[in-house]
């Protein structure tokens, strides 16, 4: 794949932001943050500094059962669909709750039951302040520690939601169906959710679509699709704990194909029938490498963390790829570099997720560094070469000015988060040595598997593995507004 580096560079060069943005090197950001719950019972937000209204307080979701009936656009030139759905949410109250909230955006609730009993609710839709809440008042109130099942019936028209930067995300209506990419706070565009990456849960999906359409989601199929009266229900089960921003569903004219990774890992790919020509050739070649990529990463970082893998490739979706758990989404085509990037996220980002959105470099730095390792393995470019190229890009226009350990809400996916993040990992490896670096990486994955952690946790694990004090190193490589000391 000789075009791997150039594609990568083109993609990242476009995303780079120049100096003068939020979060310029303030070492005080290095003070440790708690991942303990910071909310009051029933709070309408999880307290994330970037997305204070996303997520909710006072409970822990164990499972989402999503039953979705979807009508794709009848006129493909008008990208509006229709969703009619029921969510069955199993949760545990962490405090005594007389009210609890879910995030739900642009869809209307029509019924709520708590443990089977009809219950009152109110809904807030405040687009200007990005507050989208359903408030439920169970009677009697929920006792701390108690499990409850909340059923919410809801629905409405679907469109093309955008995030705070104007990028398409969430439930994106397409000409032949829909594609779903939630990161960071888009899950509420299709189900009532505690949209906080610290509250992971298992999921089941029953997606009912017009006969002839295919519906995919995270995880593994749960039985064969069932057709009745012109509608087909596709059932999927994701039994590994998952952050809501990683949940997905894809509806369209997809062809499913199957492969197997190391240890019999099921690989399921869904490719839009409209992906053709060069895009299909490139996509097929990249996806055919998935089993080898899994083996390559397992050798370095330990066992692949989930029950399945694969891809959803849609022709008309959004202009980026996303590491949706077990089944990343690709737009138009899947390049080799992007596939190994999204696979790398299954360990770094999905098994261990950022506790707060400001920890995003732990996702993107690692996934980009993994692209470098894979390209080196393939003989395309050494990691050293890719590090030097990244540094050259960052040197231009003082792009070191962005503090990637707190880049600001609208710089989550700035090129620096990817490139400086990967360069920081490369430099860390040079500083502590191969053994401590890989031991630290495995310990990180082991200790926080199935949960979320911060940059400070990562530093602590790397300090333990290396026996070195790394505060100054991480400030230099992540936070300070000038060129770090090169290895």
- For the bound state, the minimum distance from the C-beta of residue 245 to ligand ARG, rounded and expressed in Å, comes to 9
What is the distance between the terminal CA atoms of the chain, rounded to a whole angstrom?
A: 28
280 binds, among ligand ARG, Zn ion, none (CB under 5 to 8 A by kind): none
- Please tell me the number of Cα atoms within 13 Å of 415 on its side-chain side: 23
* Burial (Cβ within 10 Å: 0-12, 13-18, ≥19) of residue 266: middle
- For the bound state, the minimum distance from the C-beta of residue 345 to ligand ARG, rounded and expressed in Å, comes to 6
The span from the CA of 229 to the CA of 231, in Å, is 6
Listed in sequence order, the residues at least 6 apart from 403 whose beta carbon sits closer than 8 Å to its beta carbon are: 23, 24, 25, 26, 29, 478, 479, 480, 481
- For the bound state, the minimum distance from the C-beta of residue 184 to ligand ARG, rounded and expressed in Å, comes to 8
User: Is the peptide bond prior to 110 cis by the omega test (within 30 degrees of 0)?
Assistant: no
| Closer to Zn ion by Cβ: residue 314 or 364 | 364
The span from the CA of 203 to the CA of 54, in Å, is 19
- For the bound state, the minimum distance from the C-beta of residue 420 to ligand ARG, rounded and expressed in Å, comes to 14
Please report, as residue ranges, which positions from 24 to 43 form the binding site for ligand ARG (by CB under 6 A).
Answer: none
> Would strands 352-354 and 451-453 be described as parallel, antiparallel, or unpaired?
parallel
φ and ψ of 5, to 5 deg? -65, -40
Binding mask 337-366 for ligand ARG (x = CB under 6 A): ----xx---------------------x--
Q: Which residue is nearest to ligand ARG (CB)?
A: 167
Q: Where are the beta strands (DSSP E) in 253-374?
A: 254-260, 266-272, 309-314, 329-331, 352-354
Is 417 a residue that touches Zn ion (CB under 5 A)? no
Residue written as tokens 């849960």?
A: 201
Nearest to 156 by CA among 93, 89, 260, 70: 70
114 binds, among Zn ion, ligand ARG, none (CB under 5 to 8 A by kind): none
Query: Which bin fits 433, alpha (ψ -120 to 50), beta or left (φ > 0)?
Result: left
Please report, as residue ranges, which positions from 341 to 370 form the binding site for Zn ion (by CB under 5 A).
Answer: 364, 367
- For the bound state, the minimum distance from the C-beta of residue 470 to ligand ARG, rounded and expressed in Å, comes to 25
Please report, as residue ranges, which positions from 366 to 395 form the binding site for Zn ion (by CB under 5 A).
Answer: 367
Chain CA centroid to CA 438, Å: 24
Applying CB under 6 A, among 163, 314, 456, 463 the residue interacting with ligand ARG is 163
User: Which part of the chain contacts ligand ARG (CB under 6 A), choosing from 59-67, 103-111, 321-329, 369-377?
Assistant: 321-329
- For the bound state, the minimum distance from the C-beta of residue 178 to ligand ARG, rounded and expressed in Å, comes to 17
391 binds, among ligand ARG, Zn ion, none (CB under 5 to 8 A by kind): none
Nearest to 178 by CA among 189, 165, 193: 189
**What does the DSSP 8-state code read for residue 168?**
B
- For the bound state, the minimum distance from the C-beta of residue 270 to ligand ARG, rounded and expressed in Å, comes to 18
Applying CB under 6 A, among 48, 103, 183, 406 the residue interacting with ligand ARG is 183
Q: Where are the beta strands (DSSP E) in 76-119?
A: 81-93, 100-103, 108-114, 117-118
- For the bound state, the minimum distance from the C-beta of residue 371 to ligand ARG, rounded and expressed in Å, comes to 10
User: Which part of the chain contacts ligand ARG (CB under 6 A), choosing from 4-12, 74-82, 294-302, 316-324?
Assistant: 316-324
Q: What Å distances lie between residue 372 and 6, 204, 354, 458, CA to CA?
A: 13, 35, 22, 21
| Closer to ligand ARG by Cβ: residue 190 or 473 | 190
Binding mask 391-420 for ligand ARG (x = CB under 6 A): ----------------------x-------
Q: Which residue is nearest to Zn ion (CB)?
A: 367
User: Which part of the chain contacts ligand ARG (CB under 6 A), choosing from 215-223, 317-325, 369-377, 390-398?
Assistant: 317-325
| Closer to ligand ARG by Cβ: residue 238 or 321 | 321
Tokens of 435: 């053994």
Is 11 a residue that touches ligand ARG (CB under 6 A)? no
Is 334 a residue that touches ligand ARG (CB under 6 A)? no
**What does the DSSP 8-state code read for residue 294?**
H
- Which residues of the chain form contacts with ligand ARG (CB under 6 A)? 163, 167, 169, 183, 320-323, 341-342, 364, 413
- Which residues of the chain form contacts with Zn ion (CB under 5 A)? 364, 367
């Amino acid at each position: 794949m000789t075009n791997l580096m150039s594609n990568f560079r083109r993609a990242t060069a476009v995303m780079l932001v120049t100096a003068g943005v939020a979060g310029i090197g303030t070492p005080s950001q290095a003070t440790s943050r708690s991942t303990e719950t910071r909310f009051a019972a029933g709070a309408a937000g999880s307290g994330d500094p970037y997305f204070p209204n996303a997520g909710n307080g006072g409970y822990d979701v164990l499972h989402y059962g999503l039953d979705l009936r979807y009508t794709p656009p009848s006129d493909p030139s008008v990208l509006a669909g229709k969703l009619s759905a029921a969510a069955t949410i199993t949760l545990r109250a962490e405090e005594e709750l007389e009210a609890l909230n879910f995030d739900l955006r642009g869809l209307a609730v029509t019924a709520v039951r708590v443990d089977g009993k009809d219950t009152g609710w109110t809904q807030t839709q405040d687009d200007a302040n990005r507050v989208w809440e359903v408030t439920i008042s169970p009677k009697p109130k929920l006792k701390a520690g108690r499990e409850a099942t909340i059923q919410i019936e809801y629905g409405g028209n679907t469109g093309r939601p955008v995030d705070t930067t104007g990028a398409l995300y969430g439930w994106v209506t397409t000409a032949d169906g829909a594609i779903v990419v939630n990161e960071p706070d888009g899950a509420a565009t299709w189900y009532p959710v505690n949209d906080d990456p610290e509250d992971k849960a298992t999921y089941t999906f029953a997606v009912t679509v017009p006969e002839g359409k295919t519906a995919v989601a995270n995880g593994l199929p749960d039985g064969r699709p069932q057709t009745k009266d012109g509608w087909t229900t596709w059932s999927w089960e994701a039994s590994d704990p998952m952050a809501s921003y990683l949940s997905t569903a894809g509806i369209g004219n997809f062809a499913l194909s199957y492969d197997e990774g190391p240890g019999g890992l099921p690989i399921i790919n869904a490719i839009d029938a409209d992906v053709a020509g060069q895009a299909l050739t490139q996509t097929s070649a990249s996806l055919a490498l998935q089993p080898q990529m899994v083996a390559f990463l397992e050798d370095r970082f330990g066992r692949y963390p989930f029950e399945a893998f694969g891809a959803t490739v849609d022709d008309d979706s959004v202009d980026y790829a996303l590491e949706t758990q077990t089944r990343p989404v690709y737009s138009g085509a899947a390049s080799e570099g992007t596939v190994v990037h999204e696979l790398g996220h299954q360990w770094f980002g999905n098994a261990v997720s950022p506790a707060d959105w400001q920890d995003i470099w732990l996702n993107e730095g690692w996934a980009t560094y993994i692209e470098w390792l894979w390209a080196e393995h393939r003989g395309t470019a050494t990691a050293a070469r890719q590090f030097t190229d990244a540094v050259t890009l960052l040197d231009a226009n003082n792009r070191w000015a962005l503090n990637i350990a707190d880049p600001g809400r609208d710089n989550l996916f700035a090129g620096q988060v990817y490139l400086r993040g990967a360069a920081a990992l490369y430099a860390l490896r040079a500083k502590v040595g191969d053994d401590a670096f890989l031991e630290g990486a495995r310990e990180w994955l082991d200790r926080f598997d199935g949960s979320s952690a911060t940059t400070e946790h990562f530093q602590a694990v790397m300090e333990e593995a290396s026996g070195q004090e790394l505060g100054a190193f991480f400030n230099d490589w992540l936070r300070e507004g000038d060129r770090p000391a090169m290895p």
